[in-house]
Structure 1
Amino acid sequence: MIRRYGEQVKQGQRYRRRPGVYAILLDGGELLATHQAEPVPEYQLPGGGIDPGEHPVAALHREVFEETGWKIAVTRRLGAFRRFTYMPEYDLWAEKLCSIYLAHPVRRLGPPSEAGHRAVWMPAQAGLDLLGNDGDRAMLARALGQLR
């Protein structure tokens, strides 16, 4: 069973399953995150939805580049969680299946290409408080615990 974080499932609400991939990008004691301005300003692990027919790791590279401007090297899959949420940018009630990967930032290639995103470096420990959803924070805590 995949652990659920966040909002309770709303009875009677239909959700569309949306698989996605997200990266915990660590460099020493620093975490590379993305800050999304809309619809609610928040820090997030970079990543997003997997397009139909796209391999998850290819989607991870694409999404991280779009949201941070960085090329990455993927180390391994850390785990997964799910959350039920409304996505106003798509007018969609989604069951997000979030696969989390450990990765390293390799080289900054430019600014984020996805509108409303900004790459942000922060102390990894600060991410435990600043990341905008419970699942991201839990996975970061797991990653940091395994690295000690």
Structure 2
Amino acid sequence: MIRRYGRAAQPGRRYVARPGVYAVLERNGRVLLTWQDAPHREFQLPGGGIDPGEHPVAALHREIYEETGWHVGPALRLGAFRRFAYMPEYDLWAEKICTIYRARPVMRMGPPTEPGHKAVWLRPEAAAERLSNSGDRAFLRQALGLG
């Protein structure tokens, strides 16, 4: 069973399974997050949904590049969690199955290509405090030994 973070599923509401991949990205004592302007203004671990037929690691590399403008080295799978959320950009209620990896940013290719996203480097504690969801915070703290 995959641990749930955040609110429980609402009884009687239908949720669509949405697998996604996200990464804890650390380099030189800083953590790379993505700032998203819409639909909610928030800090997130870089990552996102896996397209149909796409390998999860390929999706991870694609999403990190789109949201931060960085290429990363090999990714190590840390684990997974799930959360229930409304996704206004798709007008659906989702059970997000979030697989978390750790990788090292190796080369900045340019600015993020996904509109409304900005790459932000923060110290680990500040990154953990600013992440918008408790699952992201838990995995970042575990990966970086923040307790």
The 4+ residue runs of structure 1 with deviation greater than 6 A are none
> In structure 1, what is the equivalent of residue 88 of structure 2?
88
Q: Distance in 1 between matches of 2:48 and 2:68?
A: 12
> In structure 2, what is the equivalent of residue 140 of structure 1?
140
> In structure 1, what is the equivalent of residue 13 of structure 2?
13
Unaligned 5+ segments in structure 2 are: none
Q: Give the TM-score taking structure 2 as reference length.
A: 0.97
User: Any residues of structure 2 matched to 1:30-45 within 5 Å, and which?
Assistant: 30-45=30-45
In structure 2, what residue type is equivalent to 1:113? T
> In structure 2, what is the equivalent of residue 106 of structure 1?
106
- What SS does the corresponding residue of 1:74 show, helix, strand or coil? coil
The answer to whether the 8 A contact 2:68-2:117 is kept is: yes
Q: Give the TM-score taking structure 1 as reference length.
A: 0.96
Shift of 1:71: 0.4
Q: Distance in 2 between matches of 1:7 and 1:126?
A: 24
Q: Cα RMSD over matched residues?
A: 1.3
- What SS does the corresponding residue of 2:26 show, helix, strand or coil? strand
Q: How many residues align?
A: 147
- What SS does the corresponding residue of 1:38 show, helix, strand or coil? coil
Stretch of structure 1 that moved more, 83-92 or 68-77? 68-77
> In structure 1, what is the equivalent of residue 52 of structure 2?
52
In structure 2, what residue type is equivalent to 1:143? A
Unaligned 5+ segments in structure 1 are: none
